[in-house]
Amino acid sequence: MQIMKLAYPLEQDQHFQTPVVLAMGFFDGVHLGHQNVIKRAKEIAQARGLPLAVLTYDHHPAIVYQQLTGDDARYLTLPDAKYQLFQKLGVDYVYEVNYDYDFQAQDPQTFVDNFIVRMGASVVVAGFDHTYGKHDAAMPNLADYAQGRFTVETVSALLMDDKKISSTRVRRNLSDGHLETVHRLLNRPFTISGTVVHGLARGRTLGYPTANIHYNDEQRMPPLGVYIVMMQINHQCYPGMASIGKNVTFGDQNPITLEVNLLDFERNIYGKRVQVQFLKKTRDEVKYEGEAALVRQLERDEQATRKFFQSDKRNS
Ligand SMILES: Cc1cc2nc3c(=O)[nH]c(=O)nc-3n(C[C@H](O)[C@H](O)[C@H](O)COP(=O)(O)O)c2cc1C
Ligand SMILES: Nc1ncnc2c1ncn2[C@@H]1O[C@H](COP(=O)(O)OP(=O)(O)O)[C@@H](O)[C@H]1O
């Protein structure tokens, strides 16, 4: 898969592989609805013997027309994770456009002529609620702007439990700590990437060493609390328990950290790039009266985590 970073206006000598089937969208989260759009585009591409390209954006379009702060400015999937998922779905080219004011200000016809036609789209595939160009033009009008130069395939809403699958629904379930529902909406566990860094080296004195994971500030995270997780290190997955919290037992002013204790694991993993898959939230963070009470709770957390993985094994 090739990733091309583009900006408005496209350079005159910008070369594209043409013709292609072009799927369009921001695809934050690459949830089942997004996967459905890209799979449909892939089927069409295979039937026509064409490569599949995805037209997407480097950041959330709302950044251009409103100031986003806090979680609103964070993503379910950062570009690297998103593009790996695209690759698994059989995408050949990613056209990542810098979404700036000039790009947004194009009227729909100009956007179609300057981008979609230049990219050599033979078929454009997008979800029913995708919008493009100034004033958010809608999918039903895209065929008019195409003027016979490409055809349009609009993919209708995919439902789960009678409700539309959407990035908003994934974000809401994530912030409510409903990781099992998020898992079903994504068809994979909610996963973040990071690097193992040094903490205060307190974990090993408690009998529970924890890998402190440094992650990108633009990554949207589950809420503070304790989780059952799998952590991937060099393509291998290890079961564990995680805390997203401020270590409140040890003071009121600590920063938020993500820490993972892996079960039956004793290795130095400082500096490793890892992926943490959040399977289930088990409780909120609690301020304990001293270390001994925290350790007793960590023992109960460990038992609950082992039980989860044992019954998970029986069910699979
Ligand atoms: C599964 C798990 C649950 C935790 N729960 C709490 C908690 O409820 N309250 C708290 O203050 N700290 C909690 N912690 C965080 C510990 O305080 C932290 O791991 C310890 O202070 C080690 O910090 P260090 O890695 O900086 O040395 C938890 C950690 C883990 C791995
Ligand atoms: N079971 C384990 N789970 C997580 N990390 C472990 C484990 N065993 C050893 N380690 C190593 O120990 C480190 C954590 O020890 P800890 O005392 O909590 O120190 P720190 O505060 O620097 O994270 C991890 O980063 C990792 O390199």
Please state the ipTM of this predicted complex. 0.96
Give the predicted TM-score (pTM) of the model: 0.96
Q: How many CB atoms lie within 10 A of CB 60?
A: 18
Cβ contact 158:32 at 8 Å: yes
Residue 281 pLDDT: 98
Residue 255 pLDDT: 97
> How far apart are the CA of 181 and the centre of ligand 1, in A?
26
* Sites in the chain below the pLDDT cut of 70: none
Q: Is the CB of 305 inside a 6 Å radius of any atom of ligand 1?
A: no
Q: Identify the burial level of 143 via C-beta atoms within 10 angstroms of its C-beta, where 0-12 means exposed, 13-18 middle and 19 or more buried.
A: middle
Q: Is the CB of 263 inside a 6 Å radius of any atom of ligand 1?
A: no
Q: Is the CB of 266 inside a 6 Å radius of any atom of ligand 2?
A: yes
Distance CA 316, CA 42 (A): 30
Which residues pair with residue 228 across a beta bridge?
241, 280
pLDDT digits (tens, 9 = 90+) for 22-58: 999 999 999 999 999 999 999 999 999 999 999 999 9
> How far apart are the CA of 204 and the centre of ligand 2, in A?
7
Residue 63 pLDDT: 87
Which structure tokens are listed for 300?
């109960």
Atom of ligand 2 nearest to the CA of 205: 17
Q: Is the CB of 77 inside a 6 Å radius of any atom of ligand 2?
A: no
Cβ contact 197:270 at 8 Å: yes
Residue 312 pLDDT: 80
Distance CA 73, CA 63 (A): 8
Q: Is the CB of 271 inside a 6 Å radius of any atom of ligand 2?
A: no
Please, what are the domains in the chain?
Answer: 2-164 (3.40.50.620), 189-315 (2.40.30.30)
| CA-to-CA separations, 198 to 226, 227, 240, 258, in angstroms, rounded | 20, 21, 18, 12
